[in-house]
Structure 1
C-alpha cells in the first residue's frame, strides 16, 4: 500500500513537472526555444554537435553542427553554434582577407538556399590582439567584433592590397545562426559552412574595424506604446533586454526596432561610434540590415553628401534579401574628425503588419599607426 502511494505521488509530481515545463517552454520567445531544443538534441545524441574543420592553404573552412529548422525563425531567433578558430600554431603574421558562409543540407552537404543564413559573427580577443601589436590604448574602446556576415551579404572580401593582420595562433570566435522567414511547416536539418580567407603576404596594408549602427530613442516608461509621435524621432523596440543602450543622459536607445507598414526613413548620428581622433581613409564596409530595408547610406552631414550608398534588393513574393551592395575601394574615401556623420536607412514594409529592423555597418579604415609599427618589425 505504501509503495502504491509513493508511485501515485511520484506520478502526480512528474505530471505537474511536465505541465509546468510545457507551459514555461511555450511562453518562451523563439530564440530561447531554439536554445532549449539545441541543448536537448545535443544531450540526447540526436544531433551531430561537432564542428568539422579543414585548414587548407590560405582558407580556413569549417562546417557547423546540425541545425533543426522546424518553423519560422526571424532574425536572431534560430538555432546557432559557436567555434574558436586558430589559423596557425605559431605567431606568424597572417592577413584576414575575406569571409564567406553558405547553408548546406545536413547529410549530403549540398548547398541549399541562403535564406537559412542569419548571422555569422567573427569576434576577436581585443586584449590579446592589441597587446600583441603594443596598442594597449585601444583595448575596450569598441565591442570586439571584427565583422559579421548576414542574410543578403553572405560573402565579403577586402579590396586588393588590404587585410586585417593578426598573429596566426591568436583566436577568433565565430558564431553562426540559422534563419527561416518563409516555411512555417519546415521540418529538416541544415548546417552552415564558414570560410575565412587569409594571406601570408608581407606587402598588404592593415585595416582596422569600426562598428556603427542606428540607435533610436524609445520611451523607457512605456516602450511599446503605439503609434509613436513622429516629432519625437522615437521608435518601438522589439524588446528592451537586447540591443538596448543608454545615451549617457538617462535616455534609452534601441538598435532593434519595429517598422510600420509602408515607406520610412531612419537616421542616427554615429560620430561617437566612429571615434574619429584624426582623419581616416575608409576602404570597405560590410552591411547588416533586415528584410524590407531598401537602401542604407553613410552620410556626411557637414558636406551634405553620402560617403557611400548601399542598395538592398529584396525577394519578390516572399520575405528575404536577395542581395546587399557592399562598399569596397582600393583608393578609399576620407572621413574627417571635424565632420558630422550619420547612417540613413530607407525601408519599405510591403506586408500588412509590423516588421523588425536593424541597420549596421562594419567599417574598415586604413590603420596608419599599425602600418608604421609593422614596418619597424
Structure 2
C-alpha cells in the first residue's frame, strides 16, 4: 500500500471520527454538553481556569474560573465549577454567619445580572465535621449540605447570636453553576464571586444544626417520561432518572427534579424522614431553593394544620427568572415537634407556553443543644 493511499485512508478515518463525535455530542442533553465544553475550556486554558481566593476581614471570598455562556442554559444545565476550601489553616473554632454570591464580568470583575446565577452549594465533610465535635453517631445520617444559594436568593444571613460552628481547617466543598434563561444568542464570559462570612468570637453565638428537606414526587418507573394523568396530585414526570432520583424503601421511585405543565399547580411532599426529629427542635433560619415559575413554598404542620413559614417568590414580569425568594430568620425561633407531621407545599404558575422544570427545597437551621453542650462543656 502506497503512502498516498495510507494518508487518504487515515484522513477518511479521522474525518469519520470527527463526524461521529459531532453527532454524539449534539445528541447529548444540554447539561452534559455544558460539562464537556467547560472541561475542555478549563483544561486547555482557553479561559481563566483558576479560583481566586481572598480570606480577609473575617470573610472568605473566592472568584470562580470563567464560565462561557453560549446559549440557553436552564436550571441545573449551565457551566459550573467546584473547589475545596478551608476557612483557616488551623483548628481554631470559627462561626459561619452568612453566605453571598454574585455574577461578574470575567474581564472587568464588575457585577452583572444575577440572572446568570443558577445555584451555589456549600457542602461539608460530615465524617470530619462530626468527629471533631465527638458526635460520630451523626455521621451518614444527615444530608451533608450546609446550604444552597440560588437565583432569587443570592444573600443569606443567620439571625444575630446564631451561627454554624466549624474548625477552621475543616473542608468545605463549593460548587457554583451558571444560568441563562433569556438570551439564546449569548456570547458571554462570566464568573461567580462567592463569599462566606464568619466570626472568631464564640462568646455570644449559639450553634445551629442544618437539615435539608425537599419535595420528592413519585414517578412511573416502568415508563418514567409518560405524562401523569393528574399533575401535582398523581405521578410526576422526572427531568431524568439518573440524578435527583430516590427510593422510598417500599419499591417506589421518586424525583426531586420534575416537569411542570403550563398553568397553576400544587405539589406537596412529606418531609418527616428528612427532618428526623428525635425530640423537639427550634427553627431559627431557613434558606429556600426553587426554580422559576414557583410562587410560594410552605413549611406546613399537618398535625395542627398551620403554616410554620411560607416563602413567597417574585418572578420577572418580562422574562424568565426570579427576582426575589423570601428566607426565614428569627432570633426567637419556632418549635417543631417529634409527634407532629410536616410537609412542604409548593405552588407554581407556569405562565410560559411550554413545560418547565421545577425543584422545591428548604435548608433549615435549628438550635443545636447537644453541640452547644459539647462546645461549652456543659
In 2, Cα distance between the equivalents of 1:290 and 1:65?
24
1:319 maps onto 2:320 in alignment: yes
Structure 2 CA distance, aligned partners of 1:99 and 1:154? 8
Aligned partner of residue 353 in structure 1, secondary structure: coil
Alignment of 1:1-377 (within 5 A): 2-202=2-202, 203-229=204-230, 233-376=234-377
Q: Shift in Å at residue 233 of structure 1?
A: 2.2
Segments of 4+ in structure 1 off by > 3 A? Answer: 229-232
CA apart distance, 1:225: 1.3
Q: CA deviation at 1:229?
A: 3.6
Answer whether contact 2:87 2:169 (CA < 8 A) is retained: yes
Q: What whole-Å deviation, never above 9, does each CA across 1:56-93 have from its counterpart, x for those lacking one?
A: 12100010000000000001100001111111111010
Cα distance in 1 for partners of 2:266, 2:200 equals 43
The separation in 2 between residues aligned to 1:267 and 1:146, in whole angstroms, is 23
Instruction: Give the drift of 1:357.
Output: 0.4
Instruction: Report deviation, 1:296.
Output: 0.5
Q: Is the 8 A contact 1:228 1:235 kept in 2?
A: no
Segments of 5+ residues of structure 2 without an aligned counterpart are: none
Identify which range, 39-48 or 355-364, moves more after superposition.
39-48
CA contact (8 A) 1:95 1:199 kept: yes
Q: Secondary structure at the match of 1:31?
A: helix
TM value normalised by structure 2 = 0.98
CA distance in 2 between partners of 1:325 and 1:112 (Å): 22
Whether contact under 8 Å (1:76, 1:177) holds in the other structure is: yes
CA–CA distance in structure 1, aligned partners of residues 351 and 280 of structure 2: 40
Once residues 37 and 225 of structure 2 are traced to their aligned partners in structure 1, the CA distance between those partners, rounded to angstroms, is: 29
Q: Give, in angstroms, the shift of residue 6 of structure 1.
A: 1.1
- SS of 1:376's equivalent? coil
TM-score, L = length of structure 1: 0.98
Aligned mates of 2:128, 2:77 — CA distance in 1: 31
Aligned residues: 377
Shift of 1:228: 2.3
